[in-house]
Amino acid sequence: MNGAFAAPVAPAESVSSLIARNISEFRAAVSQSFVPLQVSSDGPDHFRGVIRGASVDEVHVTEVRATSHVVERTPELIARGDRSYFKVSLMLAGTGLLIQDDREAVLHPGDLAVYDTDRPYSLVFDQDFRTMVVMFPKHLISLPSDMIGQLTAVRISGQEGLGGMVVPYLTQLAGNLDQLAGTTGARLAHSALDLVTTVFTRELGLDEVSADPHRALVQRIRSYIDRNLASTDLGPATIAAAHFISTRHLHGLFQEQGVTVSTWIRTRRLEQCRRDLLDPMLADRPVAAIAARWGFVDAAHFSRAFKAAFGVSPSEYRAAH
């Protein structure tokens, strides 16, 4: 028995665990844990797999161990779904091949890769393996989807640069899934997303002086907005002035991304409020105070905007989680 299956399945009430004795059980399990997928194996009679997973605040963290098989996300399966996710895989043992958007990435232990459930992809494992997958809705990450699309099926090494800092954290998270159900679970999950976002930013060259000036300006503006969400003065005029451009130019930059400046600001503020509502350290803080903390001066307007974005009122959202 090699390293992919060396660790036992740790029983934990907060972690769902499933041992698949055949390919049919595994296919059903991965489709339930992630999105609908086609799974096949050259040796279905000898197949085995283990899936352990935990979820918090729409972030799904799953450890998968299995014998050789192929996973496919087909156009037909994509058409059945109504949710858009990114998946980040960290190879822990064995090797895997990820194919998406006419790119291929061979992943070895310590390597990261991202893929998009809205577009077809394949995963090929020709030996026993162990991997960790972080799946999350696209709205949880601050980078535009089209930018992330430049990184699908691109190998990101965990042996150097930022990857060398992020991979140990994700590896520890994979080995301590029960912690996601604790009082700090939401913070752990979002720390993982923040680290992954930082890696993506570096891989896209958005933090480099030599980056394309147009793209670099957009990133600087987005960063400025995030740093100033609490300011009630934040708006097109102040943002444009801070970057020495006209408001017309600013609106044009955001129109290229398919969103208005005001919508982007509101979305980022709502996301920060949503995180605070889930934070046990802020459980005693009134909803109105959380809204004001992130620049919403009108509590009624905030409540309407929150319900429009997430389907329930802020108080209902906090109570449900």
CATH code where residue 269 lies: 1.10.10.60
53 & 140 share domain: yes
Crossing angle between the packed helical segments 261-278 and 185-203, to the nearest 10 degrees: 140
Asked if residue 229 and residue 165 are part of one domain, the reply reads no
- Domain check: are 145 and 281 in the same one? no
| Spatial distance between the Cα atoms of 249 and 12, rounded to a whole number of angstroms | 54
Say how far apart CA 193 and CA 142 lie, in whole Å: 10
Nearest 10 degrees: Cα torsion 230, 235, 241, 245: 130
How many angstroms separate the CA atoms of 20 and 27, rounded? 9
Residue type, 174: A
- pLDDT value for 84: 85
Question: Looking at the structure, do residues 284 and 183 belong to the same domain, yes or no?
Answer: no
- pLDDT at residue 224, rounded to an integer: 92
Does residue 238 share a domain with residue 143? no
In a domain, 208, yes or no: no
Given 148, 177, 203, the domain boundary residue is 203
Let me know whether 186 and 237 are in one domain: no
84-123 pLDDT, tens digit each:
899 999 999 999 999 999 999 999 999 999 999 999 999 9
- The CATH number assigned to the domain holding 138 equals 2.60.120.10
Give the three-state DSSP class for 62. strand
Could you give the CA distance from residue 319 to residue 277 in angstroms, rounded to a whole number?
A: 9
Torsion, CA 117, CA 119, CA 120, CA 126, rounded to 10: -50
The average pLDDT across 68-85 equals 89
Sign of the dihedral defined by the CA atoms of residues 143, 149, 150, 156, in that order: positive
Q: Give the length of the chain.
A: 321
36 lies in some domain: yes
CA distance 73 to 36: 7
**Domain contains 195:** yes
Q: Which domain holds residue 9?
A: 3-203
75 within some domain:
yes
For the stretch 127-163, pLDDT in tens is 999 999 999 998 888 788 888 999 999 999 988 888 8
